[in-house]
Chain A
Amino acid sequence: MNQLGFPILSIMLAVPLVAALWCLFAPGEGEAKARSARVTALAASLIDLVLGGVLWANYEVGGARWQFIERADVFGRFSWALGIDGIALMLIVLTVFLVPLCILASWTSIQKRVPEYMAVFLLTELLMLGVFVAQDLFLFYIMFEGGLIPMYMIIGIWGGARRIYASYKFFLYTLLGSVLMLIAMLYMAQTAGTTFIPTLMAFNFSSQAQLWLFLAFFASFAVKMPMWPVHTWLPDAHVEAPTAGSVILAGVMLKLAGYGFIRFSLPMFPEASAHYMWLIFALSMIATVYTSLVALVQKDMKKLIAYSSVAHMALVTFGLFAFNRQGIEGAMMVMLGHGLVSSALFLCVGVVYDRLHTREIARYGGLATNMPAYATFFLFFTMASVGLPGLSNFPGEFLSMMGTYEISSWAAFIAVTGIITGAAYMLYLYRRICFGPQTNADAAAMSDLDKREWLVLAPLAAAVLWMGVYPESFLSPMRADVGALLERIHPAAPASDAALTVPHAAPAAAVAGER
């Protein structure tokens, strides 16, 4: 079966499902039921965290490409096929790490329909994990699109004042993409005669078909990513979602599209990927400049961080379509780093939102005086977000931009402007929240972090530091898989953008050209 002797992946999916059902149908009333739902959810998410740790510890780096494989044919071609590679492993670890923190963050801030909330949240975890472990095309689709439903609910039921508008927008955008993707999947299943993803990853679709299939998948992934100009759902969704919803949205859901690109678009349609590289780069370049400037003028904390997410995600798309190792590994590292840091930043917003019930930046100020521990954490994550070396975002951003430069100096030139504007909008935000005199009496009266909040932020800080100082832990499981992907897409790689050749042939240059 697998190296552990028990179906660990299925168990990881079953645990949140069982716990969700228990939350909903457990006996009890009112506050007692709410408390038991909280405890159940936390326990289930911690079990998954432990299982995630077991998974990581037992994953053989350099072993088989697909590990922990499970397969049961359900009906027809549809099968319960699970299995992970190093790339999926890292995203699974990210997911199981963030969910317990989300539950803790919702401990007191969610008071309405707690059992339902916890159940929906666990369902989200189940579906997110399902996306990363699925080896069947339609299983993937169900998990991928199904994940939207609990997210609609989290925004629509437990969200802020304009939650209906936000969830409608979210729905409209994502639906549009998913329909096209489904049609493409049906075509692929028919043409290739299989729905098994590893087989499809090696299947050669005709060049003409690739061009259409790529666009169909792109429609879905570009929305989820989100890429400019289909990003406008994200700020609204974040603003209206409760803190934990924002965390899971930014931390995990935005990674689904990147995962989709790396699992489907690149290996299945390598020629089309090369063909549309210019499109991806153009949209990413626009996003970098555009959303950074928009972030600079935001008055709402969550909106600012949401726009910064769009800018950071542009680095993922730059890296993925750079067709070289630095780019792709960098893109993965950006996803992981951003998963931690944007989550942490949303949690930081949540801390003060719980106290003052406003996200308006101008209502705060001088928090470093009355909330020194909070200010320190916030600064730490702000610095991680601007890509300070030694913290989690640097290895990814650096590699991704380096990979981009190798293929296009123009794209890199624009991508790197992000380090200037990124510093500007984040530090400007930090200054308005934490520095300066205490002008608002209610903000000045807020208390510093309590124990629960410490418990939420400290693990994130530790992970951010770890990823920044020793990224090798995260890079090594993915290395072989990125290698396999590179081998697959290499023949289609665009000529290492003519802008970058060294004509007075020196050996080093020739090597550089091939990477």
Chain B
Amino acid sequence: MIQLLVFLPLFAAAVAGLGNRMIGNTAAKLVTTGALFASCAIAWPIFIGFLTGTNHAYVAPVLTFIHSGDLQVDWALRVDALTAVMLVVVTSVSALVHLYSWGYMGEDPDQPRFFAYLSLFTFAMLMLVTADSLVQMFFGWEGVGLASYLLIGFWYQKPSAGAAAIKAFVVNRVGDFGFSLGIFGTFLVFGTTSIPAILHAAPGMAGSTIGFLGYRVDTMTLLCLLLFIGAMGKSAQLGLHTWLPDAMEGPTPVSALIHAATMVTAGVFMVCRLSPMFETSHVALEVVTVIGALTCFFAATVGTTQTDIKRVIAYSTCSQLGYMFFAAGSGAFGAAMFHLFTHAFFKALLFLSAGSVIHSMHHEQDMRFYGGLRKHIPLTFWVMIAGTLAITGVGVAGVFGFAGFYSKDAIIEAAYATGTQVGGFAWFMGVFAAGLTSFYSWRLIFLTFFGEPRWAASEHIQHAMHDHGHGHDDHGHDDHHAPDETAGHEPRPEGRSINEIAHGTLGYHPHAAPWVMKLPLLALAVGAVFAGWAFAHYFLEAEFWQGAVAYSAELHEKAEHLPTLLGLAPTIVMLIGLAIAYWGYIVDTTIPDRFARTFRGLYVFLLKKWYFDELYDFLFVRPAFAIGRFLWKQGDEGTIDRFGPDGISKLMVVGNRFMARAQSGYVYSYALVMLLGLAGLATWAVTR
């Protein structure tokens, strides 16, 4: 069954991708969506089997892959509790996103290609989560990277989409640089790339040292950190995060599936999968914690100032991934996976709702041009509220809470319970970021759904009304065919604030979403509301995992018995964040402007995303091109050729004559004569 689950999406991708226009939109959509729902239907029983404890880990072999000496890598599908969690996350979200795309991409001329990419992505992700060896994990890792590249660049005519696609791939390759070295080092140390074998042998290597680039370092620390660089790339952690916001160039369903629910969590999955290995190195765990905590704080701060609805959610994703990492770094791998699980539902929901808003607003993505949408698209409004309650972690301990309440609180408590300095730092960052999360999430809701409509100033809406006024077809606008969905116009501090934007609707009526879009929203909303409440018990206890992730009973015990006030801290900051957002965006909308003017330096710094893009451009991109040009012109042409072939021909006594003959084409005769001469010499030497 697991083979069917994994390979159905590949088959569907092949049919839709190769069939393309021949089989038509409907067939392509039916095949891919059908395959995904079938995979999903297979995945849930597997997961439930692990929940009830009736299923146990097994490996299904598929095919020989690379055999070279001690390196014995096979294609194989591993299923255990950890995989089962990922299977349901991947197939469920993917199936719903496929369905949603029927509506969202309904007017795109290139639908078979889109659905083929989506299914291909799902296949690669399934190969990643079922990997039994690091090499197959790397296969899935690169496969999802490819699908991400293709889908970000789906609207390839847009230069910005092409740029974002390359950026995503290349930044991920920086992570893969570390991942690859990590795999090589692991093979060197353990003589295998099989994950169970490595995890089994890892404790024996604790405390050993290894040479690396002339230094002598702790073996396990080195290996874990190299592998973690890979995780940082894929999961957009601080330093390698710059591709994620730009990835919003892709269609919104893609953002929901790849850049929120599944692919970007691959790094967290990897750290959890290798958790017994990470447990052998305190330094590595501390690095994971610090990077995670910093990311969670950094991304949340940036999220507070962005005006593009997708970018806000993208930074929110980045921030939530930081939570998962510092949970893992604190040793609470179960909590990390739990947050991954709940986050998949509520973040996919938030993205798809945002997509519904964008769809209804004729592809306007700037929240400054929204407002008052509550009454026009009520279903979207209510599910988005559910998602927001889930992400901000609303709930009362012991009674009921939305999904994020259980998982986020478990993480924050675990960080505190470690009792270490690093844990304390992570706890502080986590709590602070929880307040920011609440602020930017409610800010998004208030700007979008409350207040007066500010649609009149939107170029997209003006465009729509203009088209409408002249009839749809008379000057052949391809507006629907290639939606002008951008990752946001690069934010500019001098941009207008919502108070300066003219109010009014221009008589525009937001489109309501078709049922194929509403259904996935409702399904995900159920997940966002109940996933935490229903599954907290399993994910946070040891039995469910059957040893698939490292588990510390002691840490769990401590986290359970924190002082009440500490336990309430996330809820308190959440309420503060909500209050500030309410105050600034409902009660008195001039406050954000005044704040931005007063603290202009800070505001611009956040709006510019801490200047990471500018810094990297200055440090890496420009120098790479400049050095390349220098080596080409000064190295190859200016030195090697000048003193090499060109120089020799000038130096030769017969140089001029030779070149003259060469120009007239006699060089072949020369070559022939010389070679024949040499062959003759050889013959003479051999036979004499």
User: Which A positions have Cβ atoms within 8 angstroms of B?
Assistant: 75-78, 138, 141-142, 145-146, 148-149, 152-153, 156, 164, 167-169, 171-173, 175, 178-179, 182, 185-186, 189-190, 195, 229-230, 232-233, 235, 290, 293-298, 324-326, 329-330, 366, 368-369, 372, 383, 388-390, 395, 398-399, 401-402, 405-406, 409-410, 412-413, 416-417, 419-421, 423-424, 427-428, 431, 434-438, 469-472, 475, 497-504, 506, 508-509, 511-512, 515
Q: Among A138, A383, A389, find the residue whose CB has the most chain B CB atoms closer than 10 A.
A: A389
Q: Among B187, B663, B682, find the residue whose CB has the most chain A CB atoms closer than 10 A.
A: B682
> In the docked arrangement, what's the CA distance between A398 and B181, Å?
10
> In the docked arrangement, what's the CA distance between A405 and B183, Å?
10
Q: Mark B196-228, 1 if CB is under 8 A from A, else 0.
A: 000001001101111111100001000000000
By a CB distance below 8 angstroms, the chain B residues around A233 are: 645
Shortest beta-carbon contacts, A-B, top 7: A76-B687, A499-B211, A293-B628, A325-B69, A405-B184, A435-B162, A389-B139
Interface size class of B (residues with CB under 8 A): 35 or more
Whether a CB of chain A sits under 8 angstroms from the CB of B501 is no
By a CB distance below 8 angstroms, the chain B residues around A190 are: 685
Q: Among B159, B629, B645, find the residue whose CB has the most chain A CB atoms closer than 10 A.
A: B645
Check if B686 sits within 8 Å of A78, measured CB to CB: yes
> In the docked arrangement, what's the CA distance between A284 and B491, Å?
44
By a CB distance below 8 angstroms, the chain A residues around B149 are: 427
- Residue from the list B157, B644, B663, B674 in contact with A232, Cβ < 8 A: B644
By a CB distance below 8 angstroms, the chain A residues around B675 are: 145-146, 148-149
- Residue from the list B159, B181, B208, B648 in contact with A413, Cβ < 8 A: B181
Q: Count A-B pairs with CB separation below 8 Å.
A: 262
> In the docked arrangement, what's the CA distance between A293 and B659, Å?
32
Query: With A388-B142, A419-B177, A420-B170 as given contacts, are A500 and B188 in contact (CB-CB < 8 Å)?
Result: yes
Check if B68 sits within 8 Å of A475, measured CB to CB: yes
Check if A512 sits within 8 Å of B205, measured CB to CB: no
Whether a CB of chain A sits under 8 angstroms from the CB of B683 is yes
Check if B219 sits within 8 Å of A515, measured CB to CB: no
By a CB distance below 8 angstroms, the chain B residues around A229 are: 640, 644
> In the docked arrangement, what's the CA distance between A172 and B658, Å?
12
By a CB distance below 8 angstroms, the chain A residues around B645 are: 168-169, 172-173, 232-233
- Chain B's closest residue to A395 (CB) is B66
- Residue from the list A369, A406, A416 in contact with B180, Cβ < 8 A: A416
- Chain B's closest residue to A182 (CB) is B678
Query: With A366-B157, A390-B139, A475-B67 as given contacts, are A416 and B211 in contact (CB-CB < 8 Å)?
Result: no
Query: With A149-B675, A472-B67 as given contacts, are A428 and B180 in contact (CB-CB < 8 Å)?
Result: no
Check if A290 sits within 8 Å of B682, measured CB to CB: no
By a CB distance below 8 angstroms, the chain B residues around A388 are: 142-143, 146
User: Which B positions have Cβ atoms within 8 angstroms of A?
Assistant: 20, 63-71, 135, 138-139, 142-143, 146, 149, 153, 156-157, 159, 161-163, 165-166, 169-170, 173-174, 176-177, 180-181, 183-185, 187-191, 201, 204-205, 207-214, 219, 624-625, 627-629, 631-632, 635-637, 640-641, 644-645, 648-649, 659, 662-663, 665, 667-668, 670-672, 674-675, 678-679, 681-683, 685-688
Whole-angstrom distance between the Cβ of A17 and the nearest chain B Cβ = 17
Check if B682 sits within 8 Å of A138, measured CB to CB: yes
A–B Cβ pairs within 8 angstroms, 5 of them: A142-B682, A167-B668, A175-B671, A406-B187, A502-B210
Could you list 13 further interchain pairs (A-B, Cβ under 8 angstroms) beyond the known A167-B667, A171-B671? A149-B672, A290-B635, A293-B631, A388-B142, A406-B187, A416-B177, A419-B173, A470-B63, A471-B65, A472-B65, A500-B188, A500-B211, A501-B210
- Residue from the list B68, B153, B628 in contact with A297, Cβ < 8 A: B628
Whole-angstrom distance between the Cβ of A111 and the nearest chain B Cβ = 19
By a CB distance below 8 angstroms, the chain B residues around A499 are: 211-214
By a CB distance below 8 angstroms, the chain A residues around B146 are: 383, 388
Check if B686 sits within 8 Å of A401, measured CB to CB: no
> In the docked arrangement, what's the CA distance between A190 and B188, Å?
43
> In the docked arrangement, what's the CA distance between A470 and B201, Å?
29
Check if B173 sits within 8 Å of A402, measured CB to CB: no
